[in-house]
Amino acid sequence: MDEVEFEQNLKNLSTQEELEFYKEHLEDEILELKTDILEIEQGIVELKTKQGIVELDKDKVIQQMKQDGSMLEYVGSTLQNNYDVVLEAVKTFKWALCYASEELQDDYEIVFQAIQLNPDVLEYASTELKTKDEFIKIYIDHWVGEYKIYKTIDEFIQLHESVIDKELIKMDCN
């Protein structure tokens, strides 16, 4: 029964009937709330159980990441946001940073470890970390050192501007 119906029925009752009607309505409301509370409590127990399983599995996942960081793609968002799991993954798989949570893509140590293995993952770092001089230097050193094919810094910038800010490169290279 909605509030409008409730109010209309209440107006048509005498004082004693009113009280009984109101009491019955409140008892129904209380029963519904108790049912909702039980469902919420069951949901909390289920979440705590799942969290416990994730925590137990975390050590196994870290060991797996030490062997094969590419598995970071499949561990789920909770573990993709776990510092220890992601740190091990970026040390062994050159594209692991792209599967890390946004929060960890903004973590200096995670990004530093990732670009040591593969400077190309700088594009997955947070905007703030992409502008760090030391990260830009690692990226530039990697590309210039590996290929030595660029005639000018402008050519380099044109080919890599989707990853790094061209104004920062020009400042760093001048």
Q: Where are the domains of the chain?
A: 3-130, 131-174
pLDDT tens-place string over residues 33-68: 898 888 888 887 776 666 555 555 788 889 989 999
Among 51-55, 114-118, 123-127, 137-141, the range scoring the smallest mean pLDDT is 51-55
Average pLDDT estimate for 128-157: 73
Q: How far apart are CA 43 and CA 26, in angstroms?
A: 26
Q: How far apart are CA 165 and CA 11, in angstroms?
A: 71
Do residues 165 and 140 touch, judged by C-beta distance below 8 A? no
Q: How far apart are CA 140 and CA 5, in angstroms?
A: 73
Do residues 123 and 162 touch, judged by C-beta distance below 8 A? yes
